[in-house]
């Protein structure tokens, strides 16, 4: 940051310094500010989450308000000014009125003391009852009354005349309460946010298959003021962890040649009237053309199920470019959609589209030509389970809740900025999600193996068969516990090299499961052999009644056959 112009210098000098020494994001912002006539100012907020592990909240800023204008509740901040002096004046007046009625309070004091002494005389007669908790409590209160000799001090014993609230104390309590609530919410949304309910395991090799599907020839979907494919690859590669490889394959599909996909797209495109409330408070009903994500996913199953090998993960990304005059969205109000192992993106030839998000009385506009910001957000959700920072999980209801205060920062998930660079905190969250899945899978497999082993019955006959296998299982189980602890320790210091242990963890876990299954098979074979030997060699347990009974039955049947009379045949002439 050497040579950075000071505030006293002109903005032109600052822009020149950014163009020469600034980051890629800074240079991109300058380019947009100079070449994009539709560029709007960023949303003014009272909190911020930087690209590093740093965030802040300004309690003195505001009031600001931003978030959805319809279908849910946005955010509105509160400004913490000095408390109203009338609160202090009313409290003081209440105390003065109480002191004026001191004679009445004296009579109340006498009556309460008399009541306590009467209880003492009736309930605390002997030494044993006097040592009880009830009598000790009464004695303590009576001693407190007898020790008071100044009438102005009677108030604390009979209810008090009311507390006097000092403005500085009120302000301090108010701010401390707000700080505690904000800190708790900050931890839930930015430090330990929930992960998406999608399968996002860690793979060393991840292949992104970009399918460009367009129904027009009116403009080039990539390049210029439209979608930046190279920038998409660059920003998404920031989520790579040590030893991980990302590869991108672009395939263009024309609806003129692929009639099946053209029919699927036609059947999945819908139209609906959607209520819309502008930032100025005007209600309208907008006719929206949208793509049904559930329907189109069913038709794209051929690409979703395509997985050539198990050593790498394949993520299909469908980029639908429309040339219609009307803008096209997904599910009525989104530019992208993250589904299970597939990403859907739509592009329309509309530079300015008034979204359902408002900020400080002004609408937030979307550039439908360049959906790179929501495209990165949806792809990272499928890849690593990242979700928007304003979304949290509610344990009581078992569903998602929203707090739009935390839709901040210059990242793909923020609705209050135009930036699309992943922050370090989001990279940490991706690492945590990978670790959580790896540990959960390993622990679940080990618990399954242990549950199966609990059905074994150890006896003196099969102890020899179990002795060797149990030693192997115990050694591997202790090694797994040590690995779980080590992985958790490395994750606690946000060390990304912890992912290099995943393959060894999977190998040992599978080996433990195989040994458990082998032990079950060995004991099963041993039980069968032992049972067969007992049947052949040990005739002491043979039941002779069975063959004797069979022999008697055969003799009876034979006797009946010999003595029975045959029926006479009718003689026919």
pLDDT digits (tens, 9 = 90+) for 373-432: 999 999 999 999 999 999 998 888 888 889 999 999 989 999 998 888 999 999 999 999
Tokens representing residue 19 in the block:
């163009």
Tokens representing residue 39 in the block:
């560029």
For residue 487, the tally of other CB atoms under 10 A from its CB is 20
User: In this structure, what are the phi and psi dihedrals at residue 316, rounded to the nearest 5 degrees?
Assistant: -80, 135
Tokens representing residue 297 in the block:
């996913």
- Cα–Cα distance, 502 to 505 (Å, whole number): 5
- Closest among 294, 308, 292, 303 to 209, alpha carbons compared: 303
For residue 252, give the 3-state DSSP assignment: strand
Q: Do residues 412 and 381 lie in contact, with contact meaning Cβ atoms separated by under 8 Å?
A: no
pTM, to two decimals: 0.76
pLDDT of residue 84: 53
- Cα–Cα distance, 438 to 488 (Å, whole number): 11
Rg (CA), the chain: 39
Q: Give 188's strand partners.
A: none
- Cα–Cα distance, 147 to 109 (Å, whole number): 13
DSSP of 36-91: -TT--PPPP-SEEE-SSS-EEE-TTS---EEEESSSS--EE-----PPPHHHHHHH
Beta-carbon-side half-sphere exposure of residue 573 (alpha carbons within 13 Å): 0
230 to 237, 248, 250, 335: CA distances (angstroms) = 11, 10, 11, 19
For residue 152, the tally of other CB atoms under 10 A from its CB is 10
pLDDT of residue 154: 47
Q: Do residues 151 and 129 lie in contact, with contact meaning Cβ atoms separated by under 8 Å?
A: no
User: In this structure, what are the phi and psi dihedrals at residue 252, rounded to the nearest 5 degrees?
Assistant: -95, 130
Distant-in-sequence, close-in-space partners of 43: CB < 8 Å, separation ≥ 6: 66, 359, 360, 364, 415, 416, 417
Q: What is the bridge-based pairing of β-strands 353-359 and 65-68?
A: antiparallel
Q: Do residues 233 and 222 lie in contact, with contact meaning Cβ atoms separated by under 8 Å?
A: no
- Cα–Cα distance, 446 to 80 (Å, whole number): 53
Low-confidence spans in the chain with pLDDT less than 50: 1, 8, 149-162, 532-538, 567-573
pLDDT of residue 572: 42
DSSP of 476-507: HHHHHHHHHHHHHHHHHTT-GGGGGGHHHHHH
Q: Please, what's the b/e burial string for 160-177 (b: 16 or more CB within 10 A of its CB; e: otherwise)?
A: ebeeeeeeeeeeeeeeee
pLDDT of residue 385: 94
Q: What is the DSSP letter of 294?
A: H
Tokens representing residue 223 in the block:
């390049």
Tokens representing residue 7 in the block:
């505030």
pLDDT of residue 9: 58
439 to 436, 452, 499: CA distances (angstroms) = 5, 20, 11
């Amino acid at each position: 940051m050497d040579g950075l112009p000071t505030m006293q210098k002109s903005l032109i000098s600052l822009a020149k310094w950014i163009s020469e020494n600034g980051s890629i994001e800074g240079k991109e912002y300058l380019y947009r500010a100079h070449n994009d006539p539709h560029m709007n100012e960023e949303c003014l907020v009272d909190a911020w989450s930087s690209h590093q592990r740093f965030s802040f909240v300004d309690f003195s800023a505001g009031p600001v308000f931003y978030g959805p204008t319809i279908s849910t509740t946005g955010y509105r901040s509160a400004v913490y000014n000095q408390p109203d002096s009338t609160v202090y004046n009313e409290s003081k007046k209440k105390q003065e009125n109480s002191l004026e009625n001191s004679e009445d309070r004296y009579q109340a004091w006498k009556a309460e003391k008399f009541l306590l002494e009467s209880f003492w005389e009736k309930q605390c007669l002997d030494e044993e009852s006097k040592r009880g908790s009830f009598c000790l409590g009464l004695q303590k209160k009576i001693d407190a009354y007898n020790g008071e000799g100044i009438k102005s001090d009677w108030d604390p014993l009979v209810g008090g005349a009311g507390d006097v609230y000092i403005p500085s104390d009120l302000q301090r309590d108010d701010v401390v309460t707000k700080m505690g609530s904000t800190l708790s919410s900050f931890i839930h949304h930015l430090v330990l946010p929930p992960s998406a309910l999608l399968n996002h395991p860690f793979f060393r090799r991840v292949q992104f298959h970009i399918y460009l599907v367009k129904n027009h020839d009116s403009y080039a979907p990539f390049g210029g003021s439209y979608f930046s494919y190279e920038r998409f690859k660059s920003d998404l590669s920031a989520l790579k962890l040590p030893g991980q490889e990302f590869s991108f394959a672009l395939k263009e599909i024309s609806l003129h040649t692929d009639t099946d996909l053209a029919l699927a797209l036609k059947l999945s495109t819908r139209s609906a009237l959607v209520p819309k409330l502008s930032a100025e408070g005007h209600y309208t009903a907008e006719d929206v053309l949208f793509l049904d994500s559930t329907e189109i996913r069913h038709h794209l199953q051929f690409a979703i199920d395509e997985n050539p090998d198990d050593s790498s993960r394949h993520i299909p990304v469908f980029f639908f470019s429309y040339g219609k005059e009307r803008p096209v969205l997904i599910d009525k109000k989104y530019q992208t959609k993250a589904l299970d192992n597939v990403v859907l993106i739509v592009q329309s030839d509309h530079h300015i589209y008034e979204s359902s998000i408002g900020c400080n009385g002004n609408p937030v506009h979307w550039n439908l030509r360049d959906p790179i910001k929501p495209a990165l957000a949806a792809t990272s959700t499928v890849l690593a389970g990242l979700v928007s920072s304003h979304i949290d999980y509610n344990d009581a209801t078992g569903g998602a809740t929203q707090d739009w205060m935390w839709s901040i920062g210059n990242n793909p998930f923020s609705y209050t900025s135009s930036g699309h660079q992943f922050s370090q905190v989001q990279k940490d969250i991706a690492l945590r999600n990978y670790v959580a899945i790896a540990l959960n899978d390993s622990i679940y497999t080990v618990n399954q193996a242990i549950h199966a082993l609990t059905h074994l019955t150890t006896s003196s006959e099969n102890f020899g068969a179990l002795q060797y296998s149990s030693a192997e299982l115990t050694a591997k189980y202790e090694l797994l516990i040590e690995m779980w602890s080590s992985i958790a320790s490395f994750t606690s210091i946000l060390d990304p090299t912890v992912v290099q242990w995943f393959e060894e963890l999977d190998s040992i876990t599978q080996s433990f499961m195989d040994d458990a299954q082998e032990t079950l098979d060995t004991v099963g074979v041993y039980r069968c052999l032992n049972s067969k030997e007992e049947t052949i060699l040990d005739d002491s347990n043979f039941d002779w009644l069975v063959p004797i009974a069979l022999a008697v039955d055969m003799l009876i049947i034979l006797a009946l056959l010999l003595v029975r009379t045959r029926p006479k045949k009718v003689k026919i002439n």
